[in-house]
Amino acid sequence: MFKDTSMRFLSANSPRVCESNCGFSAVGYKVGHKITKGLLYFWIWACFVTNDPAYSFDIKDLNYLEQFQVCLDCDLTGVNLFGRDLSGYDLRGADLAGADLRMSKLIGIDLRGAYLADANLQGADLSGADFFVADARRANFSMANLFDVDFSSATLFEANFESAVVIDSHFYAADLKGANFRYTTLENCYFFEANLTDVNFQSASVVDNDFQAAILCRTSFPSGVRNSGCEIE
Protein backbone atom coordinates (compact mmCIF):
# COMPACT_ATOMS: atom_id res chain seq x y z
CA MET A 1 0.00 0.00 0.00
CA PHE A 2 1.03 3.56 -0.65
CA LYS A 3 2.13 5.28 2.51
CA ASP A 4 1.84 9.03 3.02
CA THR A 5 5.32 10.20 4.03
CA SER A 6 4.60 13.95 3.82
CA MET A 7 3.87 14.29 7.51
CA ARG A 8 6.91 12.22 8.39
CA PHE A 9 9.02 14.49 6.14
CA LEU A 10 7.72 17.63 7.79
CA SER A 11 8.02 16.15 11.21
CA ALA A 12 11.58 15.10 10.62
CA ASN A 13 12.72 18.35 9.07
CA SER A 14 10.66 20.96 10.92
CA PRO A 15 12.98 21.13 13.92
CA ARG A 16 15.95 21.83 11.68
CA VAL A 17 14.09 24.53 9.74
CA CYS A 18 12.88 26.11 12.97
CA GLU A 19 16.32 25.85 14.47
CA SER A 20 17.77 27.93 11.66
CA ASN A 21 14.94 30.43 11.22
CA CYS A 22 14.14 30.81 14.90
CA GLY A 23 17.78 31.54 15.66
CA PHE A 24 17.72 34.36 13.13
CA SER A 25 14.44 35.63 14.59
CA ALA A 26 15.85 35.56 18.10
CA VAL A 27 18.89 37.59 17.05
CA GLY A 28 16.66 40.08 15.27
CA TYR A 29 14.43 40.34 18.30
CA LYS A 30 17.38 41.00 20.60
CA VAL A 31 18.81 43.69 18.31
CA GLY A 32 15.42 45.34 17.93
CA HIS A 33 14.86 45.16 21.68
CA LYS A 34 18.20 46.83 22.37
CA ILE A 35 17.46 49.60 19.86
CA THR A 36 14.03 50.15 21.41
CA LYS A 37 15.53 50.32 24.91
CA GLY A 38 18.19 52.75 23.70
CA LEU A 39 15.59 55.03 22.15
CA LEU A 40 13.49 54.83 25.32
CA TYR A 41 16.44 55.78 27.55
CA PHE A 42 17.31 58.68 25.25
CA TRP A 43 13.72 59.90 25.33
CA ILE A 44 13.63 59.70 29.14
CA TRP A 45 16.95 61.56 29.39
CA ALA A 46 15.77 64.25 26.98
CA CYS A 47 12.57 64.71 28.97
CA PHE A 48 14.51 64.90 32.24
CA VAL A 49 17.00 67.60 31.24
CA THR A 50 14.43 69.64 29.31
CA ASN A 51 12.05 71.42 31.64
CA ASP A 52 9.62 72.75 29.05
CA PRO A 53 9.06 71.63 25.45
CA ALA A 54 8.73 75.28 24.49
CA TYR A 55 12.43 75.71 25.26
CA SER A 56 15.40 74.01 23.64
CA PHE A 57 18.89 74.31 25.06
CA ASP A 58 22.20 73.59 23.33
CA ILE A 59 23.53 70.24 24.57
CA LYS A 60 27.08 71.30 23.65
CA ASP A 61 26.77 74.30 25.97
CA LEU A 62 25.49 72.08 28.78
CA ASN A 63 28.37 69.63 28.35
CA TYR A 64 30.86 72.51 28.30
CA LEU A 65 29.36 73.93 31.51
CA GLU A 66 29.55 70.59 33.29
CA GLN A 67 33.17 70.10 32.24
CA PHE A 68 34.56 73.58 32.92
CA GLN A 69 32.01 75.15 35.35
CA VAL A 70 31.83 78.19 33.07
CA CYS A 71 29.68 78.97 30.05
CA LEU A 72 29.51 82.58 28.91
CA ASP A 73 26.52 83.62 26.77
CA CYS A 74 25.53 79.98 26.39
CA ASP A 75 22.08 78.62 25.53
CA LEU A 76 20.56 76.74 28.47
CA THR A 77 16.92 77.62 27.85
CA GLY A 78 14.57 75.27 29.65
CA VAL A 79 17.35 73.08 31.04
CA ASN A 80 16.54 70.95 34.08
CA LEU A 81 19.18 71.43 36.78
CA PHE A 82 16.93 70.49 39.67
CA GLY A 83 18.88 69.94 42.89
CA ARG A 84 22.27 70.38 41.23
CA ASP A 85 25.31 71.99 42.87
CA LEU A 86 26.47 74.86 40.66
CA SER A 87 28.17 76.86 43.39
CA GLY A 88 30.77 79.25 42.01
CA TYR A 89 29.86 78.56 38.37
CA ASP A 90 30.25 81.39 35.86
CA LEU A 91 27.12 81.85 33.74
CA ARG A 92 27.49 85.47 32.74
CA GLY A 93 25.19 86.36 29.86
CA ALA A 94 23.73 82.86 29.71
CA ASP A 95 20.18 82.25 28.50
CA LEU A 96 18.39 80.33 31.25
CA ALA A 97 14.84 81.25 30.33
CA GLY A 98 12.42 78.71 31.76
CA ALA A 99 15.22 76.75 33.44
CA ASP A 100 14.42 74.49 36.40
CA LEU A 101 16.84 75.33 39.21
CA ARG A 102 14.63 74.31 42.10
CA MET A 103 16.43 73.23 45.27
CA SER A 104 19.79 73.82 43.58
CA LYS A 105 22.92 74.89 45.43
CA LEU A 106 23.98 78.10 43.68
CA ILE A 107 26.25 79.71 46.27
CA GLY A 108 28.33 82.49 44.73
CA ILE A 109 27.11 81.77 41.20
CA ASP A 110 27.84 84.53 38.67
CA LEU A 111 24.71 85.38 36.67
CA ARG A 112 25.59 88.91 35.66
CA GLY A 113 23.71 89.86 32.52
CA ALA A 114 22.03 86.46 32.34
CA TYR A 115 18.49 85.98 31.04
CA LEU A 116 16.31 84.05 33.50
CA ALA A 117 12.78 84.96 32.45
CA ASP A 118 10.29 82.47 33.95
CA ALA A 119 13.11 80.45 35.54
CA ASN A 120 12.19 78.43 38.62
CA LEU A 121 14.61 78.87 41.54
CA GLN A 122 12.23 77.78 44.28
CA GLY A 123 14.08 76.71 47.41
CA ALA A 124 17.50 77.31 45.87
CA ASP A 125 20.48 78.47 47.94
CA LEU A 126 21.66 81.65 46.21
CA SER A 127 23.89 83.01 48.97
CA GLY A 128 26.37 85.47 47.51
CA ALA A 129 24.97 85.15 43.98
CA ASP A 130 25.45 88.00 41.50
CA PHE A 131 22.47 89.04 39.33
CA PHE A 132 23.83 92.44 38.29
CA VAL A 133 21.85 93.68 35.23
CA ALA A 134 20.33 90.20 34.85
CA ASP A 135 16.82 89.82 33.47
CA ALA A 136 14.80 87.56 35.77
CA ARG A 137 11.31 88.78 34.99
CA ARG A 138 8.60 86.48 36.37
CA ALA A 139 11.26 84.23 37.91
CA ASN A 140 10.29 82.18 40.94
CA PHE A 141 12.52 82.79 44.00
CA SER A 142 9.97 81.53 46.53
CA MET A 143 11.47 79.95 49.65
CA ALA A 144 14.98 80.62 48.34
CA ASN A 145 17.96 81.62 50.48
CA LEU A 146 18.88 85.09 49.20
CA PHE A 147 21.58 86.14 51.65
CA ASP A 148 24.00 88.80 50.34
CA VAL A 149 22.70 88.64 46.76
CA ASP A 150 23.40 91.46 44.30
CA PHE A 151 20.30 92.29 42.25
CA SER A 152 21.57 95.76 41.30
CA SER A 153 20.00 97.10 38.08
CA ALA A 154 18.31 93.74 37.50
CA THR A 155 14.95 93.33 35.79
CA LEU A 156 12.73 91.56 38.30
CA PHE A 157 9.22 92.68 37.50
CA GLU A 158 6.52 90.22 38.58
CA ALA A 159 9.17 88.01 40.18
CA ASN A 160 7.99 85.85 43.07
CA PHE A 161 9.94 86.10 46.35
CA GLU A 162 7.21 84.69 48.56
CA SER A 163 8.50 83.10 51.78
CA ALA A 164 12.12 83.67 50.75
CA VAL A 165 14.82 84.74 53.20
CA VAL A 166 16.31 87.98 51.83
CA ILE A 167 19.03 89.40 54.08
CA ASP A 168 21.82 91.91 53.31
CA SER A 169 20.91 91.91 49.61
CA HIS A 170 21.14 94.81 47.16
CA PHE A 171 18.34 95.89 44.82
CA TYR A 172 19.91 99.18 43.75
CA ALA A 173 17.99 100.59 40.73
CA ALA A 174 16.31 97.22 40.18
CA ASP A 175 12.98 97.04 38.35
CA LEU A 176 10.65 95.16 40.71
CA LYS A 177 7.28 96.28 39.36
CA GLY A 178 4.58 93.88 40.50
CA ALA A 179 6.96 91.62 42.44
CA ASN A 180 5.60 89.49 45.27
CA PHE A 181 7.36 89.59 48.67
CA ARG A 182 4.52 88.18 50.78
CA TYR A 183 5.68 86.29 53.88
CA THR A 184 9.28 87.13 53.01
CA THR A 185 11.93 87.72 55.66
CA LEU A 186 13.39 91.01 54.42
CA GLU A 187 16.19 92.45 56.53
CA ASN A 188 18.91 95.03 55.98
CA CYS A 189 18.37 95.21 52.21
CA TYR A 190 19.17 98.16 49.96
CA PHE A 191 16.45 99.40 47.58
CA PHE A 192 17.95 102.78 46.63
CA GLU A 193 16.26 104.04 43.42
CA ALA A 194 14.54 100.70 42.88
CA ASN A 195 11.16 100.68 41.15
CA LEU A 196 8.72 99.16 43.64
CA THR A 197 5.51 100.00 41.81
CA ASP A 198 2.73 97.57 42.77
CA VAL A 199 5.11 95.47 44.87
CA ASN A 200 3.46 93.45 47.63
CA PHE A 201 5.27 93.34 50.99
CA GLN A 202 2.16 92.36 52.95
CA SER A 203 2.69 89.79 55.70
CA ALA A 204 6.45 90.14 55.23
CA SER A 205 8.97 90.77 57.99
CA VAL A 206 10.41 94.12 56.84
CA VAL A 207 13.26 95.18 59.15
CA ASP A 208 16.00 97.82 58.73
CA ASN A 209 15.77 98.13 54.94
CA ASP A 210 16.81 101.22 52.97
CA PHE A 211 14.05 102.49 50.66
CA GLN A 212 15.62 105.91 50.10
CA ALA A 213 14.79 107.37 46.67
CA ALA A 214 12.89 104.20 45.74
CA ILE A 215 9.74 104.52 43.64
CA LEU A 216 6.84 103.53 45.89
CA CYS A 217 3.65 103.51 43.89
CA ARG A 218 0.72 101.48 45.20
CA THR A 219 3.35 99.59 47.17
CA SER A 220 1.78 97.43 49.88
CA PHE A 221 3.61 97.19 53.22
CA PRO A 222 2.40 95.49 56.42
CA SER A 223 1.59 99.00 57.68
CA GLY A 224 -0.40 99.90 54.57
CA VAL A 225 -0.05 101.21 51.02
CA ARG A 226 2.64 103.81 50.38
CA ASN A 227 3.12 106.19 47.48
CA SER A 228 6.34 108.11 47.04
CA GLY A 229 8.10 109.20 43.88
CA CYS A 230 5.26 108.36 41.52
CA GLU A 231 2.25 110.10 40.07
CA ILE A 232 -1.06 108.59 41.12
CA GLU A 233 -3.53 108.41 38.28
Report whether 182 contacts 198 (CB < 8 A): no
Q: 118 and 211: one domain?
A: yes
SS3 of residue 10 by DSSP: helix
Asked if the model's pLDDT at residue 199 lies above 90, the reply is yes
Q: 79 and 169: one domain?
A: yes
Domain boundary among 10, 26, 49: 49
- By mean pLDDT, which of 18-22, 42-46, 202-206 is the weakest? 42-46
Termini Cα distance of the chain: 115
Q: 68 and 92: one domain?
A: yes
Asked if the model's pLDDT at residue 194 lies above 80, the reply is yes
Q: 42 and 66: one domain?
A: no
Among 219, 172, 215, 207, CA closest to 191: 172
Confidence of residue 24 (pLDDT cuts 50, 70, 90): very low
pLDDT of residue 30: 52
User: Which structural domain range is residue 204 located in?
Assistant: 55-233
Domain boundary among 49, 65, 83: 49
CATH of the domain at 168: 2.160.20.80
Asked if the model's pLDDT at residue 211 lies above 50, the reply is yes
Cross-strand bridge partners of residue 205: 185
pLDDT of residue 50: 45
Asked if the model's pLDDT at residue 45 lies above 80, the reply is no
Domain count, the chain: 2
Average pLDDT, the chain: 85
Q: What is the pLDDT of residues 77-87, one digit of tens each?
A: 999 999 999 99
Phi, psi of 191 (to 5 degrees): -115, 25
Q: 130 and 72: one domain?
A: yes
Q: 216 and 106: one domain?
A: yes
Q: What is the pLDDT of residues 60-105, one digit of tens each?
A: 999 999 999 999 999 999 999 999 999 999 999 999 999 999 999 9
Q: 2 and 90: one domain?
A: no
Q: 74 and 17: one domain?
A: no
Q: Where on the phi/psi map is residue 199: left (φ > 0), alpha (ψ -120 to 50), or beta? A: beta
Asked if the model's pLDDT at residue 39 lies above 80, the reply is no
Count of alpha carbons within 13 angstroms of residue 215, beta-carbon side: 15
Q: 98 and 3: one domain?
A: no
Q: Whole-prediction pTM value?
A: 0.76
Confidence of residue 230 (pLDDT cuts 50, 70, 90): confident
What mean pLDDT is predicted for residues 167-175? 99
Q: 23 and 76: one domain?
A: no
Q: 27 and 78: one domain?
A: no
Q: 231 and 128: one domain?
A: yes
